[in-house]
């Protein structure tokens, strides 16, 4: 199943083998998923305490994994405002918006996941398993499992 709050992302999953649902973590039944993958910058859209509650409280049954992707930051609070503008010249439509993104250090991710009942098992710098090095490559791939699992 692919779960996404943005209807426009349905196009990327036009495959009969993928069940696509529009929504957020509230649609996940407790203990119904094997790995839960938050890809792209999903984790960065969860600001402050939302990180501790949104994806994890529904997926922490024994044996379940949560994998996510984030970008580390040297800033104190790590929250930035991203303003965007998209022009659709064929339709003559302009859309603008702003969103807040939370950048977290590996230490903050570890603390936040621990508060949500998860223990960080591994952290990589890429999908090939290269060891994490914030100075050289700020992308984090985090694998976490329920504490005590």
| Residue 142 contacts residue 114 (beta carbons within 8 Å) | no
**138 and 92, same structural domain?**
yes
**66 and 124, same structural domain?**
yes
Give Cα separations from 93 to 39, 51, 88 (angstroms): 29, 34, 5
Evaluate if pTM is beyond 0.85. Answer: no
**14 and 41, same structural domain?**
no
Q: Give the pLDDT of residue 93.
A: 92
CATH number at residue 131: 3.40.50.150
Domain that holds residue 11: 1-30
**70 and 42, same structural domain?**
yes
**92 and 39, same structural domain?**
yes
Q: Tens-of-pLDDT digits for all 149 residues of the chain?
A: 677 777 776 676 667 777 777 877 777 776 666 666 666 676 776 777 666 655 555 555 544 455 555 666 656 677 888 898 999 988 999 999 998 888 888 888 888 888 877 888 888 888 788 888 888 887 888 888 777 76
**71 and 6, same structural domain?**
no
The domain tally of the chain equals 2
Q: From CA 118, how far away is CA 56, in angstroms rounded?
A: 8
Q: Within 13 Å, how many C-alpha atoms sit on residue 46's CB side?
A: 25
**77 and 25, same structural domain?**
no
| Residue 40 contacts residue 69 (beta carbons within 8 Å) | yes
**64 and 24, same structural domain?**
no
Q: From CA 18, how far away is CA 8, in angstroms rounded?
A: 16
């Amino acid at each position: 199943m692919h779960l996404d709050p943005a209807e426009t992302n349905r196009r990327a999953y036009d495959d009969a083998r993928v069940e696509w649902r529009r929504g957020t973590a509230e649609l996940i039944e407790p203990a119904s998923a094997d790995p839960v993958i938050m890809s792209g910058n999903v984790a960065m859209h969860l600001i402050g305490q939302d990180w501790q509650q949104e994806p994890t409280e529904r997926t922490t049954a024994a044996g379940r994994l949560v994998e996510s992707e984030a970008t580390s930051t040297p800033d104190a609070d790590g929250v930035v405002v991203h303003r965007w503008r998209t022009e659709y010249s064929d339709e003559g439509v302009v859309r603008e918006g702003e969103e807040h993104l939370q950048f977290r250090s590996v230490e903050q991710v570890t603390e936040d996941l621990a508060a949500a009942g998860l223990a960080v098992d591994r952290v990589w710098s890429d999908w090939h398993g290269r060891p994490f090095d914030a100075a050289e490559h700020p992308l984090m791939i985090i694998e976490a499992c329920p504490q005590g699992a």
